[in-house]
């Protein structure tokens, strides 16, 4: 444990009761968690299978697993329970499903599957409305609000519609023997509350809990943790009240406030030494966050030197801002001989990225857009993939439902609900249940006929898919389901054309791959999920400028950060000006500042183009809160053009210098 500071060592060794570690940005919290896990196993006699570490993202869980792998033997590390909240929920529910009336092989529906159900119930296809309804229902579930209670809480038209849909939505999911992502945490809470003996079983199995990013927990996650730790309360919660930025999706900073009250023996240890950023950057961050009401007093400090001055540039408009940032980034990179991946452009909202993307492309600068949609995540590609998944695995219930209803073929929600109930009772898949006589007796002939027609069609294609080349079977599948006509019936012509082009691209990709590798459609389908996963994870080390929202950048760090659009109405957001929301916006600014290791550059516009008009804008109040001592201000109406010219000349000179050095 060499190289640890006294507070980190104390947090690792403390086992006398519940512990809250207030870990400031860049203070080495992941190191504390991993070292504590090693200490529990190696020095304290805990069995690795009895230690659980819970994170919020697969990426964080993977990083933790990799770090642990360097401290413990491989076999020991693999026994540890390191997972996200959702993965832990799945593990509990797979084992205990029958206690809640589910089969162990219940289906997990993604957002698109759930939107389809809600759309049918609410009788709408409007994507904005569906997203809003999903969000309201999700927030209710995360706050442990039942469908019955939701009807009383509904305070406006949208909430009333959501409350009406919520009850039917839950019934439909149960009938399908399916759960959504919120259920993966909510149902274990219900399970433990209704079955104390099962709760005790899991408390004995998970004897020590470590929770990362505790400030991001919602009401449901908080209850799950309380039920898992039980009266022993053997846990370490690691979090930072200054980085609580997910209130909009149900995270509740009150969970931090509750801890000292609900666990009177709680020990609090603060990690305030920052190993990431220079003194100037931390000073600005501390200044900003000091304007918030504090749950716990904490002040970050660093031994990494003063570092460069922070720059704040006023730009004429958003076009000038985008050009200026890209030009400065390029010049800075030449001057410091840096890599593209050392740089990040961070913004409040996704729509701000467009101008920066354009100028990066113009300058031939490679970039990675955080949260960009994978090709395999497009709805039309997922539709076709559902058929392929079902061909590969008849027990894949989500694939069955998606394929059976897209395009629509006379198989209604009522039929599928009866099928789901019957399959749950018999503990078989929906596909197999459809052929059983017991199910046939529960539905009318007109309901049964299209269902059997679909299942027999799948059987016929399945026979071919395991024997014939992919390039022969896939076009026949697309023709048989008439997917092209379905798209043109559903969408406007241009949209349908674009979506069909994606399907054709998918078809061509699979067909050519099948031809090159001599693989059947079944063989290829089994690799699609893996390819998709790699598509999402394989860009970590790519030498690209990172474009990201502030929310998505949390937990990450970059040598050089450009924080853009720091204006009133954007950061803080115009809809977040009441005191509680303003504090969260300030925490978001704090997160943005503390992503920077070596240099920080802020920019704002004096006017911003919205639609076809320019609207006056002004610097965010958060810039003034940073203090002026360590900041160099530039730009504005008069300085915009000279700055641009100077920057271009400087860049040209550097390029010439570098090309001369290469000769």
What 3-9 contacts at long range (C-beta under 8 Å, 24+ apart), as own/partner pairs, is 4/31, 4/35, 5/271, 5/273, 7/269, 7/270, 7/271, 7/272, 7/273, 8/32, 8/35, 8/271
Q: For residue 294, how many C-alpha atoms fall within 13 Å in the half-sphere facing its CB?
A: 11
- Rounded CA gap, 632 and 649, in Å? 21
- Rounded CA gap, 336 and 322, in Å? 21
List 10, 30, 484, 607, catalytic entry: 30
Residue 84 designated active-site: no
Residue 212 designated active-site: yes
What one-character DSSP code corresponds to residue 373?
P
List 141, 586, 595, 598, catalytic entry: 595
Q: Rounded to the nearest 5°, which phi and psi values hold at 173?
A: -60, -45
SS3 for 139-165 is HHHHCCCCHHHHHHHCCCHHHHHHHHH
Nearest CA among 441, 434, 381, 438 for reference residue 404: 434
List 212, 240, 241, 396, catalytic entry: 212
What the block records as the tokens of 26 is: 């860049």
- Rounded CA gap, 484 and 256, in Å? 52
Residue 3 burial (CB count, 10 A): 7
Distances (CA, A) of 123 to 127, 130, 401, 468: 12, 10, 18, 41
Nearest CA among 56, 69, 77 for reference residue 238: 56
Question: Are residues 550 and 588 in contact, defined by beta-carbon separation less than 8 angstroms?
Answer: yes
List 159, 180, 182, 213, catalytic entry: 213
Residue 595 designated active-site: yes
Q: Which residues pair with 562 in a beta bridge?
A: 345, 601
Residue 537 designated active-site: no
Question: Are residues 61 and 87 in contact, defined by beta-carbon separation less than 8 angstroms?
Answer: yes
Residue 30 designated active-site: yes
List 229, 243, 313, 525, catalytic entry: 243
What the block records as the tokens of 224 is: 């799950």
Residue 308 designated active-site: no
List 7, 29, 394, 554, catalytic entry: 29
Positions annotated as catalytic residues are 29-30, 212-213, 243, 595
């Amino acid at each position: 444990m060499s190289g640890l500071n006294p507070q980190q060592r104390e947090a690792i060794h403390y086992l006398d009761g519940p512990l809250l570690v207030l870990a400031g940005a860049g203070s080495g919290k992941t190191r504390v968690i991993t070292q504590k896990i090693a200490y529990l196993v190696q020095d304290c006699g805990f069995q690795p299978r009895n230690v659980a570490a819970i994170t919020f993202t697969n990426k964080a869980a993977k990083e933790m697993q990799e770090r642990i792998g360097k401290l413990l033997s491989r076999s020991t590390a693999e026994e540890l329970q390191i997972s996200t909240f959702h993965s832990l929920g799945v593990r509990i529910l797979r084992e205990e499903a029958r206690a809640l009336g589910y089969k162990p092989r219940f289906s997990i529906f993604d957002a698109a599957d759930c939107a389809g159900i809600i759309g049918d119930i609410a009788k709408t296809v409007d994507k904005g409305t569906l997203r809003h309804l999903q969000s309201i229902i999700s927030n209710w579930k995360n706050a442990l609000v039942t469908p019955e209670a939701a009807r009383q809480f509904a305070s406006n038209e949208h909430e009333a519609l959501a409350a009406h849909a919520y009850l039917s939505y839950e019934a439909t999911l149960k009938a399908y023997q399916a759960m959504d992502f919120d259920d993966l945490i909510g149902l274990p809470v219900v399970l433990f509350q209704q079955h104390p003996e099962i709760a005790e079983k899991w408390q004995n199995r998970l004897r020590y809990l470590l929770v990362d990013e505790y400030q991001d927990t919602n009401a449901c996650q908080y209850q799950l943790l309380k039920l898992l730790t039980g009266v022993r309360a053997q846990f370490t919660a690691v979090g930072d009240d200054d980085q609580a930025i997910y209130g909009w999706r149900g995270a509740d900073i009150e969970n931090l406030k509750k801890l000292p009250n609900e666990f009177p023996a709680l020990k609090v240890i603060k990690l305030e030494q920052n190993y990431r950023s220079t003194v100037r950057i931390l000073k600005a961050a501390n200044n900003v966050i000091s304007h918030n009401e504090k749950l716990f007093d904490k002040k970050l400090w660093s031994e990494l030197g003063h570092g460069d001055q922070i720059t704040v540039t006023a730009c004429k408009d958003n076009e000038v801002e985008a050009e200026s940032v890209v030009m400065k980034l390029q010049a800075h990179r030449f001057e410091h001989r840096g890599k593209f991946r050392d740089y990040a452009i961070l913004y409040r909202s996704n729509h701000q990225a467009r101008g920066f993307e354009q100028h990066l492309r113009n300058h031939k600068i490679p970039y990675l857009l955080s949260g960009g949609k994978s090709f395999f995540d497009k709805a039309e590609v997922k539709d076709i993939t559902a058929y392929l998944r079902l061909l590969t695995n008849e027990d894949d219930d989500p694939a069955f439902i998606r394929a059976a209803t897209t395009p629509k073929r006379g198989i209604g929600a009522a039929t599928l609900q009866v099928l789901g109930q019957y399959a749950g009772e018999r503990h078989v898949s929906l596909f197999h249940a459809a052929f059983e006589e017991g199910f046939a007796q529960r539905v009318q002939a007109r309901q049964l006929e299209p269902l059997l027609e679909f299942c027999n069609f799948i059987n016929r294609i399945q026979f071919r898919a395991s024997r014939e080349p992919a390039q022969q079977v896939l076009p026949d599948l697309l023709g048989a389901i008439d997917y092209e006509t379905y798209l043109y019936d559903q969408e406007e012509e241009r949209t349908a054309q674009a979506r069909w082009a994606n399907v054709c691209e998918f078809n061509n990709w699979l067909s050519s791959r099948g031809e090159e590798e001599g693989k059947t459609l079944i063989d290829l389908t089994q690799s699609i999920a893996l390819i998709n996963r790699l598509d999402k994870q394989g860009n970590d080390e790519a030498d690209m400028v990172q474009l990201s929202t502030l929310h998505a950048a949390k937990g990450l760090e970059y040598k050089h950060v450009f924080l853009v659009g720091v204006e009133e109405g954007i950061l803080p957001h115009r809809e977040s000006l009441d005191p509680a929301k303003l504090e969260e916006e300030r925490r978001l600014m704090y997160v943005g500042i503390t992503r920077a290791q070596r240099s920080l550059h802020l920019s704002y516009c004096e006017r911003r183009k919205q639609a076809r008009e320019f609207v006056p804008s002004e610097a965010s109040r958060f810039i003034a809160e940073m203090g002026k001592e360590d900041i160099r201000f530039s730009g504005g109406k008069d300085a915009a053009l000279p700055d641009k010219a100077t920057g271009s000349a400087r860049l040209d000179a550097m390029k010439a210098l570098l090309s001369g050095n290469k000769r």
